[in-house]
Every structure is written in C-alpha cells, then in structure tokens.
A and B are shown apart, each in its own frame.
Chain A
Amino acid sequence: MDVILFLVFAIIAVVCAINVVVQTHPISSAISLIGVMGSLAVLYLLLGAEFIAAAQVIVYAGAIMVLFVFVIMLLNAGAETRKGRSFMVQLLGVPLLIGLLGLLAYFVQRLYLPGVTVHFGGFRGGTPLDIGRALFTTYLLPFEVTSILILIAILGAIVLARKEMD
C-alpha cells in the first residue's frame, strides 16, 4: 500500500514539476508548482512526518503560492513565447541533466542505506512534539537567526518600496 501510494504521488510530483517548466503561461506554471508541493506533502505523510506535511501545505501551498498567484493575477501577466535555443543548450542540456540526476541518486543511496529510518543529522521523527523540542533546544540559535533574517528581508522590501514611492 505504501509503495503504491509513494509511486502515485512521486509520479504526480515529477509530472507537475516538468509541467512547471513546460507551460508557457505563468498561472499554469504556478498551479503545477502547487501540485508539486501538495504531492510532496503526501510523501512527507507517508514518511510519518505529519507536522512537516501540514506545514508544507499551510506555508508553501497555502501562503507562498497564494501570493505568487495573487501577484500574477494583479500584474495580468500573459503567456510567454518560446524563443529558439542556443546550440550549446541543445548539445549539453541532456547529458548534464542525466549527470546531475545520477549524482543525486548516488548520494541519496550512500546516505540512506535500506533499513535506515529517515533522519536529519541527529534528528528523527516528525510529530509536532519532536519538532518543537528540536527547534527550541538543539536548533534554537539557527531558528532565531533565520527568523531575524526573514525580518531583515521584509524591512529591505519596505525600504525599497518606499524609495519607489517618493
């Protein structure tokens, strides 16, 4: 059952990811990206990480992508036209892609041997309790630094927007 569900949602994720690049209209690409994030959330659920799955949907699919769609709708962006590709892209694109995927597959196989549960450093599990404890004890400093980083980004955006207005 787990394997079937994994295959179904992994295939949906990959198809949606390809669709993000292939589609010419920004809205269609954004919708495909939502599909990728939704199926990723299901994959997290299959790994037993309920909190990460919920956060994935709430933060990425529900908040960030809504803003994407909102901005695309507000700017009323039209469909893009396909330009001719350069010779180098046609020649090197496919081999480089295969090389990158192969490298990724190699590292994943080396890092996660069969029978080893999923972990991130020394951290295992995905319930809200585990994550809360890890965030506020082991990873407290990185967590707070990240939030200050985001705050700085917001302030920077406001400063830039005010400069435009004046």
Chain B
Amino acid sequence: MDSFIVISLIKTVVVFAVLLTTLAYLQWVERKVIAHIQVRPGPYRVGPHGLLQPVADILKLITKEDLVPPYVNRPLYLLAPFLAMTMALLSISVIPFGPQIQVAGYRTYMQLTDLNIGVLFVLAVSSMGVYGIALAGWSSNNKYALLGGLRSSAQMISYELPLSLAIAAPLLVSNTLSLRELVERQAGGIWHWNVLHGPFPQIVSFVVFVIAGFAETNRVPFDLPEAENELVAGFHTEYSSMKFASFFMAEYANMITVSCMATLLFLGGWVAPWPAAYGSSLVPPVIFAGAALMALYHGIHPARRRDRYSLPVFGVVFLIVAAVFLLPMVQSWLLPLFWFCSKTGALLFMFMWIRGTLPRFRYDQLMGFAWKFLFPVAVVNLLVTAFLVAWFS
C-alpha cells in the first residue's frame, strides 16, 4: 500500500513535469516548423537555434502585469482559465505510454491510472473543457470575446458528435473501454492496428477523428473562436499574463491529448510497426545515428557561422541517444516509449503542417461541414462496422 502511494506520486510528478516541458517546447517546435514552411529560420536568437526561447517566453509571461479589466464578472473571469487548464491537463492521467515495466524490483504500468472506462473519461473531461472557453468569453464583458465564446461552444458541441461516433467504431472492433487493453489488442504489427485491422479497417473513422479533433482543439482551419481578423483575439481578448498563457497551454495540452487518443485508438499505441524479431528494435538507433551524421555533416559545412559550434554538439547528443537505445536493460521501456512518442509526434507535426498550409473556414462552412458531411459519414461508418463485427463474431 505504501509503495503504491510512493510509486504513484513519483509517476505523477514525472508525467506532469514531462508534460509541462513538452507544452513549453511544443510552442518552439511549432514556430520552427511554420518558419521552415515559410522559408525563414524562426526563433534563432535565444540560445542555440532558439532552444531557450520557451524559457524566455515563460519569464516574460510571468513578469507581465496581470490586468483584470473593470466590469468583468470577476469570479467567473478568474475561474475560466483555471477550468480550461485543469480540464486540458487531466486527461493525461489515463493515457498509457507503455506496457508493464520493472524498476528496482517494483512492477508498474507506464500509466498513471487504468480506468475501465478510460475512453469515456477522456471524452467527459474534454466535454467539460468547453466551459473554460465559453465562460471566458462571457465573463469578459466584451463583444468580441462573447462572440468568440459563442462560436467555440457551438463548434465544440457540433464536432463532439462525429468525434464520439468516430471513437465508438474502433471500440467495437477492440471490444473494450480501457485504454491499456485497447493497445494490447492491437499488438503484433501494423496490420493489427485498428486503422488497418478487423472486419472493417477504421481508416474512415481515423480521418473523421482527426478532423473533429482539429475542431475540438480550435486549431487551424477551424480556429474561428480566435479569428483575429474579425474578433481581435476571440475569447481571450481581455486576458493577460499567466491567465492568457493558461489558455494557450490548454490549447497545446488538448492537441497532445487528441494526438495521444488517435495513437491509442487507431495506431496501436506503443506497439512497434512490425515485431522485434524482424528488427524493429533497430529502427530508433538507426534514425538517431542518421540524424547525428546529418548534424555532423552540416556542422562541418555550416550554412551560418553559429552552426559550426552548435550542430556538432547536437550530433554527439544524437549519437549518445542512439547508443542508449542499444543497451538491453533500458530497451524494455525505452522502445515502447519511442514508438508512442513518434506516433504522437507525427500527428502533432501534422497539426502544425496543416496550420502552415490551409486557410481558415468561413463560419457557415464550418457548421455545414460538421452536420452535413462529417456526422453522416461517422454514422454510416459506425453502422457498417457494427454490422460487420456482429457478422464475423
């Protein structure tokens, strides 16, 4: 019992420390990705390749004046960012990152807690996240903020339907609501993942899930709640300092949650694309060694003067990481973690890629798309899946 509490505490601290660091650095990654899509270097001044930019941003946001405008509804104005942030961070507690592992004699799961209704828990928490945005818009006592809040509640209610239906289809195939069992049933290689496996491959519901996930997280092309050319900054117009930052962090945390859910539901979670017997455990060292060689090459032939010192250091770090992946004692937990993070990371990259590519929808297009296209497609997909699952079992 005591060891259970201690292990849970350690796991909670580690998961949340990693999550918050990731949130800060996701912002840096996004700025870099969009900069390179637009053929410019992005953050480059603070630290090598702008790596200390998130630290500078956090310091700036903390030390900024925290202004509460007059005529706001004070209790709700203060509650809204807290609510948005809490609901966004809460879902990470049921996400499994890897299988059961053994650390210093204790066996534990790479997951904070395994609920047998894990999927429903994530849905419930994300449906509560609407209140943060809606209340922020209303309590600010500002017409732009109110319009942003209204838009976001309407959008999130509409897109929650196709999202839930898209989640239901792979659950029918896997026949469980626990996120860990969901992954365990997809073990064995890429052809066992829900996106390709089963009586009816869930490609359609994967696409619907990702599209609805973009809308649920208020990301481009569905970022109508904060359309700056019409609404200033939307629901967070009146917020400053850390209250503004918490909306920002909530958006990124929701992005991470959606990517994790897509990975767990459709892409087999921490399972490698093909069995280790055929050499899937050699993929991470090869990738990191390749990255190291590329960094070293560009360090020797630098495009910018600073690269001569920074890139060889990155190269050496990547080489060390590649060597760590070859150690047998860490492979049992590092490899699942690598596959989980690379799948989630690929989806997160797609979020950024689409932000750099697509323009914003018009509001009537947004609603019409959800109700007239996405919802019927999700319903038909669910019906076909249910019929085929019943037929083959």
Cβ contacts under 8 Å, A66 to chain B: 127, 130-131, 134, 153, 156-157
Q: Which one of A31, A41, A51, A54 has the greatest number of beta carbons of chain B within 10 Å?
A: A54
- Of B73, B120, B153, which one neighbours A54 at CB under 8 angstroms? B120
Cβ contacts under 8 Å, B115 to chain A: 50
Contact between chains at A58 and B120 (CB < 8 Å): yes
- Of B73, B117, B127, B137, which one neighbours A62 at CB under 8 angstroms? B127
Cβ contacts under 8 Å, B316 to chain A: none
Q: Digitize A67-91: 1 where CB-to-B-CB distance is under 8 Å, 0 elsewhere.
A: 1011001100000000000000000
Q: Digitize B143-178: 1 where CB-to-A-CB distance is under 8 Å, 0 elsewhere.
A: 000100110011011001000000000000000010
Cβ contacts under 8 Å, A156 to chain B: none
| Docked CA distance A63–B123 (Å) | 11
Contact between chains at B154 and A70 (CB < 8 Å): yes
Residue in B closest to A128 when the chains form the complex, CB atoms: B177
Query: A16 at the A/B interface (Cβ < 8 Å)?
Result: no
Contact between chains at A63 and B117 (CB < 8 Å): no
Query: A43 at the A/B interface (Cβ < 8 Å)?
Result: no
CB distance from A140 to the nearest CB of B (A): 16
Residues of chain A in range 26-83 having any CB-CB distance to chain B below 8 Å: 27-28, 31, 34, 41, 50-51, 53-55, 57-58, 61-63, 66-67, 69-70, 73-74
Number of cross-chain contacts by CB at 8 Å: 73
Query: A138 at the A/B interface (Cβ < 8 Å)?
Result: no
Query: A127 at the A/B interface (Cβ < 8 Å)?
Result: yes
- Of A41, A51, A55, A69, which one neighbours B153 at CB under 8 angstroms? A69
Q: Digitize B164-196: 1 where CB-to-A-CB distance is under 8 Å, 0 elsewhere.
A: 000000000000010000000000000000000
Cβ contacts under 8 Å, B123 to chain A: 54, 58, 62
Residues of chain A in range 123-152 having any CB-CB distance to chain B below 8 Å: 127-128
Cβ contacts under 8 Å, A28 to chain B: 76
Contact between chains at B128 and A62 (CB < 8 Å): yes
Contact between chains at B120 and A51 (CB < 8 Å): yes
Residue in A closest to B73 when the chains form the complex, CB atoms: A27
Q: How many of chain A's residues touch chain B, expressed as a range? A: 20 to 34
Residue in A closest to B176 when the chains form the complex, CB atoms: A128
Contact between chains at A62 and B124 (CB < 8 Å): yes
How many residues belonging to B are interface residues under a CB distance threshold of 8 Å?
27
Query: B138 at the A/B interface (Cβ < 8 Å)?
Result: yes
| Docked CA distance A54–B366 (Å) | 29
Query: B280 at the A/B interface (Cβ < 8 Å)?
Result: no
- Of B117, B121, B134, which one neighbours A73 at CB under 8 angstroms? B134
Cβ contacts under 8 Å, B38 to chain A: none
CB distance from A39 to the nearest CB of B (A): 13
Query: B331 at the A/B interface (Cβ < 8 Å)?
Result: no
CB distance from B109 to the nearest CB of A (A): 18
CB distance from B1 to the nearest CB of A (A): 12
Cβ contacts under 8 Å, B116 to chain A: 50, 127-128
- Of B127, B130, B150, B160, which one neighbours A57 at CB under 8 angstroms? B127
CB distance from B353 to the nearest CB of A (A): 30
CB distance from B131 to the nearest CB of A (A): 7
Tell whether A73 pairs with B130 under 8 Å between CB atoms, given A66-B157, A127-B116. no
| Docked CA distance A55–B137 (Å) | 27
Tell whether A70 pairs with B134 under 8 Å between CB atoms, given A51-B120, A58-B120. yes
Q: Digitize B60-76: 1 where CB-to-A-CB distance is under 8 Å, 0 elsewhere.
A: 00000000000001001
| Docked CA distance A70–B160 (Å) | 15
Cβ contacts under 8 Å, B130 to chain A: 62, 66
CB distance from B290 to the nearest CB of A (A): 44
Cβ contacts under 8 Å, A73 to chain B: 134, 137-138, 146, 149-150, 153
Cβ contacts under 8 Å, B120 to chain A: 50-51, 54-55, 58, 128
| Docked CA distance A61–B126 (Å) | 11
Residues of chain A in range 1-42 having any CB-CB distance to chain B below 8 Å: 27-28, 31, 34, 41
Q: Which one of A61, A62, A74, A128 has the greatest number of beta carbons of chain B within 10 Å?
A: A62
Interchain residue pairs with CB less than 8 A apart (15): A50-B117, A53-B117, A55-B120, A57-B124, A57-B125, A57-B127, A62-B128, A62-B160, A66-B153, A70-B153, A70-B154, A73-B149, A128-B116, A128-B117, A128-B120
Tell me the A residues contacting B by CB distance below 8 Å: 27-28, 31, 34, 41, 50-51, 53-55, 57-58, 61-63, 66-67, 69-70, 73-74, 127-128
Not counting A58-B120, A73-B150, a sample of 6 additional A-B residue pairs whose C-beta atoms are within 8 angstroms of each other reads A27-B76, A41-B124, A54-B120, A61-B127, A66-B130, A73-B149
